[in-house]
Amino acid sequence: MSSAPQKSAWAVAQQQFDLAASRLGLDAGIAAVLREPRRQLTVHFPVRMDDGSTRVFEGHRVQHNLGRGPAKGGIRFHQDVNIEEVKALSMWMSWKCAVMDLPYGGGKGGVTVDPKKLSLGELERLTRRFTTEIAVIIGPESDIPAPDVNTNSQTMAWMMDTYSMHVGYTVPGVVTGKPIALGGSLGRNEATARGAVFCIREAAAKINLNLKGATVVVQGYGNAGSIAARLISEMGAKVIAVSDSSGGIQNPAGLDLAAVDAHKKKTGSVVAFAGSTPVSNQAILEIPCDVLIPAALENQITADNAGKIKTKIVAEAANGPTTPEADEILFKSGAMVIPDILCNAGGVTVSYFEWVQDLNRDFWEEDEVNARLEKKMVRAFHEVYEMAQKEKSHLRLGAYLLSVQRVADAMKVRGIYP
């Protein structure tokens, strides 16, 4: 197997799509449409910095497919954001929404910036000006952003306010992942992690793994990773290693997560947590464990390291952590990979609930949100599992066969305009 560590996320996304399209025997015209994004907008915009200087930033909003509904997907602020990455993330959103049977297409956005190097005021001005630049294509009926890496409910509040100031009235449904005070949904903040843990529970039952006492490793201790760690430890599992962008920590006896959270809040990172030994972001993936949760960025599990991974379940809380070559290696080794477009779909699912609540001006109890999320995640997990069994494939191909077919069906019945 050739190793391709530097393969771009977009190359991976197209390769995954091609595998599914050929297995489905997809119509060549439909496949050609779905291989590329429908629209991509790149913007360069100025931001007044605190020292009085002006800096120009680059950002993107990509709409991959609108066949099943408005584009949906997050906005990422990261120094490595580029158009190829945003294209990949937008394609993955199309499949994710289709796996969950949400009435959305796929979209994604990002700004190339390390937000940790900006003041709060600079971050607000950057967010508001970026929102203004992409306002020509976003809207509650056309394209609905949400949080992603390094963005949060405050970012969404600024985006919602900016969009609303432009149109002259308050439009809560233009973004999801908002603060509760602005029409956000209860349960949205935890939703990605909660959905992932529902999937892990269902997967564990399939392989007779008792989560009580099971060992868990989490790469990426952000919104999804840290909450997934907490939720799975509440089920009796033992989290033995976690990492963030500064590095990782491990303790085979199990980490005290409340203390890790307090340490991260104080120092900005999990690194140097008392009673732990350091581990790198690469080495953390190779720690033997029952459940490995990649919850950071793309391209982490490749042909180079997949053979060294010793786990029973890989639960992809991140988008795109595993390359197609690594998928085959893990499948042969018997590890069950719960693919990103299923595993982390809890976030967009509760985003959908938030949008529905906003459009109806009617808000639900947290228990109701969580119960509806559980029902959708469990149903999607089993649909994917059964498809994979039928096709004798890994779950990723199962998820792609289901979702690509759903998007293709929508396009086919809509027909080509004019």
By CB under 6 A, tell whether 351 contacts ligand GLU: yes
Q: Which of 319, 322, 357, 393 binds ligand GLU (CB under 6 A)?
A: 319
Task: Tell me the C-alpha to C-alpha distance, in Å, between residue 5 and each of 219, 220, 299, 327.
Answer: 18, 19, 7, 14
Which CB sits closer to ligand GLU, 99 or 388?
Answer: 99
Q: Which residues are known to be catalytic? A: 108
The answer to the question of residue 176 lying near ligand GLU (CB under 6 A) is yes
Question: Residue type at 140?
Answer: P
Site for ligand GLU contains 146 (CB under 6 A)? yes
Q: Radius of gyration over alpha carbons of the chain, in Å?
A: 20
Closest residue (Cβ) to ligand GLU? 74
Is the CB of 107 or the CB of 324 nearer to ligand GLU? 107
Query: Closest by alpha carbon to 33, among 319, 407, 303?
Result: 407
Q: Do 111 and 126 touch, CB atoms closer than 8 A? A: yes
* 376 near ligand GLU (CB under 6 A): no
Site for ligand GLU (CB under 6 A): which residue of 344, 370, 393, 403? 344
348 part of the interface to ligand GLU, by CB under 6 A? yes
For 350, the token pair is 């509760």
88 binds ligand GLU (CB under 6 A): no
Least distance (Å) between residue 103 CB and ligand GLU: 13
The footprint of ligand GLU on this chain (CB under 6 A) covers a number of residues equal to 13
Q: What are the Cα distances from residue 160, in Å, to 5, 128, 155, 314, 373?
A: 38, 9, 9, 35, 24
Q: Which stretch binds ligand GLU (CB under 6 A): 23-31, 70-78, 114-122, 328-336?
A: 70-78
Residue 276 as a binder of ligand GLU (CB under 6 A): the answer is no
Contacts of 39 (CB under 8 A, 6+ apart): 62, 63, 137
CA 43 to chain centroid: 23
> Site for ligand GLU (CB under 6 A): which residue of 73, 109, 195, 324?
73
| 3-state SS, residue 46 | strand
Q: Does residue 148 belong to the site contacting ligand GLU (CB under 6 A)?
A: yes
CB of 246 to ligand GLU, least distance (A): 22
Residue matched to tokens 């945003």: 86
DSSP code for 235: T
Residues that bind ligand GLU (CB under 6 A): 72-74, 96, 146, 148, 176-177, 319, 344, 347-348, 351
